[in-house]
Amino acid sequence: MSSTQTLANAAASGTFTLGGDLTVNRLGFGAMRITGEGIWGEPKNPDEAKAVLRRAVELGVNFIDTADSYGPEVSERIIAEALYPYADGLVIATKGGLTRQGPNIWTPVGRAEYLKQCVELSLRRLKVDTIDLYQLHRIDPKVPVDESLGALKELQEAGKIRHIGLSEVSIEELEHAKTIVDIVSVQNLYNLANRQSEALLDYSAKNNIGFIPWFPVAGGDLVKPGGLLDTYSKQHGATVAQLALAWLLKRSPAMLPIPGTSSVAHLEENIGSVSVELSDEEFQALSDLAK
């Protein structure tokens, strides 16, 4: 890795202000991978997991995204163990509403009393009085979304949640949610190869809602050797993952990528993406490639 990439700082990704008062550097960190296999249980190397979190903050990351279901409970607990007391301006976003029955198994539960308990337990694990951004992890098809969001609104009014976000929603679901409570962010699957949420991204940017793409560096067939992504990455002296992240950051000012990893070296590589400057032509060629 070049020294410029090692010394790259997430602040160079630019900033986005959530809800009018919570400004974060756009390149954040997703804390799903600091758990065991299948996002289940303890990480193989707890010390490395904590080192990744501390290094992320050292390199300018001030937006960390987690969820009570990562582990479950493991990710939130490790974040507090590694980073509490938190640096000024560090925003830890978490989520609730998905239950776990085993590795890689996720089941939505959106009942009001369950979500209220989730928030109380996340507050305790993260050692905070207020969660800066609390996201409904999934809309539960068995529970009216008005009930789920109504519970979060109550907790917001009680000062336990600062801002509310959604995960894996359509424009229609987002518009309905906005009639219940102010929504400052959405988190949908989105990357260079998977652009199903393109319209939601554009809607979010227009309405000043942060768009948090999960699985941000997946490239599918686009990352094969000799392809355009591979060619451009060699020209830039960057990795394919760095190029994919640079493309996301250029795609929209509302984009808040949260690449996750359990390795310090991989974290440093991801943050090095802020040093990659795609030309308009390169950006367009990559955009067209995925279509």
Q: What is the pLDDT of residue 218?
A: 73
Name the DSSP class of 218: -
> pLDDT class for 1, splitting at 50, 70, 90?
very low
Give yes or no for residue 45 having a pLDDT over 60. yes
Which superfamily does 3-290 belong to? NADP-dependent oxidoreductase domain (3.20.20.100)
Q: What is the pLDDT of residue 5?
A: 43
Give yes or no for residue 216 having a pLDDT over 60. yes
Residue with tokens 């507090």: 80
Mean pLDDT value of segment 226-234: 90
**159 contact partners, CB below 8 Å, separation of at least 6:** 129, 130
User: Is residue 197 within 8 Å of 218, Cβ to Cβ?
Assistant: no
Q: What is the pLDDT of residue 7?
A: 73
Give yes or no for residue 2 having a pLDDT over 50. no
Mean pLDDT value of segment 5-28: 92
Q: What is the pLDDT of residue 289?
A: 84
The DSSP annotation for 22-91 comes to EEEESS-EETTTTS-GGGBSS-S-HHHHHHHHHHHHHTT--EEE--TTTBTTHHHHHHHHHHPSPPTT-E
User: Residues in the chain, how many?
Assistant: 291
Percent of residues, the chain, with pLDDT higher than 90: 91
Mean pLDDT value of segment 226-251: 94
106-163 pLDDT, tens digit per residue, is 999 999 999 999 999 999 999 999 999 999 999 999 999 999 999 999 999 999 999 9
Does the N-terminal peptide bond of residue 225 adopt cis geometry, omega within 30 degrees of 0? no
- 237/45 Cα distance (integer angstroms): 30
Q: Rounded mean pLDDT of the chain? A: 95
Which helix (H) or strand (E) segment holds residue 104: the answer is: none
Q: What is the pLDDT of residue 156?
A: 98
Compute φ and ψ for 34, nearest 5 degrees.
Answer: -90, 25
**73 contact partners, CB below 8 Å, separation of at least 6:** 121, 125
pTM: 0.96
Annotated catalytic residue, options 70, 134, 190, 203: 70
Catalytic residue flag (residue 70): yes
Indicate if the alpha-carbon torsion angle 207, 211, 112, 155 is positive or negative. Answer: negative
Give yes or no for residue 3 having a pLDDT over 70. no
Mean pLDDT value of segment 64-73: 98
The DSSP annotation for 126-184 comes to HT-SSEEEEEESS--TTS-HHHHHHHHHHHHHTTSEEEEEEES--HHHHHHHHTTS-EE
- Structure-token pair, residue 157: 């009014």
